[in-house]
Amino acid sequence: MDYLSLISKELIELLSSYINYDTFLEFNTYYNTNNLDYNLMFRYHFNFYHINNKSDYIRFLGIESLKNKLKLRYTIKQLINLLELDLSNSQLNHLPKEIGLLTNLQKLYLHKNRLPELPKEIGLLINLQKLDLGNNRLTQLPEEIGALINLIYLYLHNNLLTQLSEEISTLINLRSLFVSKNQLDIYEIRKIKQLLPNTNLYF
């Protein structure tokens, strides 16, 4: 028996408004949450009203999760519209996938951390113009990096990269790429130059 069907819609709205991002996504897989009153749930969870929109509610939950994981001082409303985020020198060894929800970001600074990899959700930040990943422990970049078509400056210096994904060829607006102090051999450098003939390459 589906015991959730015995619970009133109002009670489910109240209970589900208190669960976090990952739990809500799991709950969403086995209960139809499309007909819940998200305006009311915004009021319960975030203490303000918002349009009755499920996708917005899930996005807000995700940004709240990111805020908590990274101990950000911004409000959730500020993060929604944030254009620049500086996480440099933060001793990060993991970048949460929820970073991809900050879709208005134009500048993201992650240098001088301990990141061994990036989440594929980095490719959702399509408005990024500047991405600083210098001085980390990156061994490769996700293919989704190629979705950042508005990127102008990409800093990858001082990492552990041996090659770059061919998807970087789609970064048609990239002016400067910094790859010094990696493990890129001369053949990889030549390949990068061929993939990005109009980009200034610093190696």
DSSP states of 33-51: -TTS-HHHHHHHHHSS---
* 134: Cβ contacts below 8 Å, ≥ 6 apart: 111, 112, 155, 156, 157, 158, 159, 178
Residue 47 or residue 162, greater confidence: 162
CATH number, domain 82-203: 3.80.10.10
**Under a CB-based contact definition with an 8 Å cutoff, are residues 151 and 171 in contact?**
yes
pLDDT at 127 over 50: yes
Q: Which band of pLDDT confidence, cut at 50, 70 and 90, is reported for residue 7?
A: low
Q: Which of 103, 118, 22, 110 lies closest to 62, judged by CA?
A: 22
- Report pLDDT for 40: 86
Amino acid at 52: N
- In the chain, what are the domain boundaries? 7-72, 82-203
Q: Which of 149, 55, 65, 141 lies closest to 99, judged by CA?
A: 65
- Report pLDDT for 175: 98
β-partners of residue 130 are: 107, 153
* 197: Cβ contacts below 8 Å, ≥ 6 apart: none
Query: What value does the mean pLDDT of the chain take?
Result: 91
Per residue in 10-66, pLDDT (tens digit) is: 666 677 777 888 888 888 887 788 888 888 888 888 888 787 789 999 999 999 999
- Report pLDDT for 10: 67
**Under a CB-based contact definition with an 8 Å cutoff, are residues 183 and 161 in contact?**
yes
Q: Which band of pLDDT confidence, cut at 50, 70 and 90, is reported for residue 83?
A: very high
- Report pLDDT for 8: 61
- Report pLDDT for 23: 86
